[in-house]
């Protein structure tokens, strides 16, 4: 969650991520701003498959077969129902999220993060030239 290092709330992650991987791991990732690799993402349930680079095409083909064979109407219905299974209506969360996002945007931390970002970007551009 690199947004945290930039003094921002990472989108809808505070609402969706705990439901996906549990409150403890979501809290750790969001509050620390930690980035994780593919193996850790798989262990947490963020990804379903990790494939070796040298056999990626064959692995992807094998992974996709059951999805491609499923009846499209059934899949469309399941996707719609599954998407709403744990999510509160956006209208319920939106006012609180908007207030918290506004607090972040108005914070001294964001101004400081922007200054650091600008410095890093300027430094990189100077190195390229």
State the pTM of this model: 0.62
| pLDDT recorded at residue 61 | 94
Locate tokens 């609180």: which residue?
Answer: 96
Is residue 69 domain-resident?
no
What share of the chain in percent tops pLDDT 70? 98
Give the number of C-alpha atoms closer than 13 A to the C-alpha of residue 29, restricted to the C-beta side.
21
Is residue 7 domain-resident?
yes
The answer to whether 34 and 1 are in contact (CB under 8 A) is: yes
* pLDDT tens figures, 10-23: 877 888 888 889 99
Residue 91 pLDDT exceeds 80: no
Token output for 111:
């101004």
How many whole angstroms separate alpha carbon 49 and alpha carbon 30? 22
Q: What share of the chain is helix, strand, coil (3-state, %, to 5)?
A: 75, 0, 25
Domain of residue 97: give its range. 2-50+88-128
Is residue 76 domain-resident?
no
Is residue 9 domain-resident?
yes
* 2 phi, psi to nearest 5 deg: -65, -15
> How many domains does the chain divide into?
1
Average pLDDT score over residue span 39-67: 92
Average pLDDT score over residue span 29-39: 90
């Amino acid at each position: 969650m690199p947004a945290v290092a930039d003094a921002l709330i990472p989108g809808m992650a505070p609402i969706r991520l705990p439901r996906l991987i549990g409150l403890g791991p979501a809290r750790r990732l969001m509050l620390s701003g930690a980035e994780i690799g593919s193996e850790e993402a798989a262990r947490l349930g963020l990804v379903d498959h990790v494939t070796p680079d040298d056999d990626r095409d064959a692995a992807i083909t094998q992974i996709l077969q059951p999805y491609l064979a499923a009846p499209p109407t059934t899949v469309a219905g399941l996707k719609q129902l599954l998407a709403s299974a744990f999510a509160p209506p956006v209208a319920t969360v939106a006012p609180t999220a908007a207030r918290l996002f506004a607090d972040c945007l108005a914070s001294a931390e964001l101004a400081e993060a922007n200054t650091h970002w600008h410095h890093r970007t300027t430094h990189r551009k100077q190195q390229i030239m």
